[in-house]
Amino acid sequence: MTQRTLVLLKPDAVRRGLIGEIIGRIERKAGWTIPALELRTLDQETLEAHYGEHKGKPFYEPLMGFMAGGPIVALVVEGERVIEGVRQLAGPTDPIAAAPGSIRGDFGTITRENLIHASDSEESAERELKLFFPAL
């Protein structure tokens, strides 16, 4: 089943020079491609739309500050079962709980600064792709 998903390399990944490492892992999956990719700093409006479901949670404000605090890389990943597959490569939200071998497990320690976002369902992917790459 060919799908598209939205991936964000968060400001910690960009600041720490991990763009190549993380994209390399995605590129090496058989048949997956990256039809769009952009380095950008997120504005408040995009961030609020992207993280609307978390508004009011204790981690929301620090998360918004962190995500606006430096450039991110937004990319579209296309291929066989990419929605589940990229989340598998990323590992769970808490990097300490993430297994070694996963992106968060290998490089992360802090739940907020967990390096990568990946859409969690077909519905989220559709919504997030429209938000970040409306022309696609």
Annotated binding site for ATP: 10, 59, 87, 93, 104, 114
Q: Which one of the listed residues 117, 119, 125, 128 is annotated catalytic?
A: 117
DSSP string, 81-118: THHHHHHHHH--SSTTTSPBTBHHHHH---SS--SEEE
Residues 12-71 that bind ligand CMP (CB under 6 A): 59, 63
Burial of 136 (0-12, 13-18, 19+ CB in 10 A): exposed
Alpha helices (H) along the chain: 11-15, 19-27, 44-50, 60-68, 82-90, 103-107, 122-132
Stretch that binds ligand CMP, among 17-25, 100-108, 112-120, 125-133 (CB under 6 A): 112-120
Residues of each annotated binding site: 10, 59, 87, 93, 104, 114
Q: Counting contacts by CB under 6 A, is residue 111 touching ligand CMP?
A: yes
Of 12, 114, 128, 132, the one binding ligand CMP by CB under 6 A: 114
Based on the residue annotation, tell me whether 117 is a catalytic residue of this protein: yes
Of 4, 87, 104, 117, the one binding ligand CMP by CB under 6 A: 117
Q: Are 76 and 36 in contact (CB under 8 A)?
A: yes
Chain position carrying tokens 């799908």:
3
Q: How far is the CB of 29 from ligand CMP (least distance, A)?
A: 19
Enter the tokens of residue 4.
């598209």
Interacting residues with ligand CMP (CB under 6 A): 59, 63, 93, 111-112, 114, 117
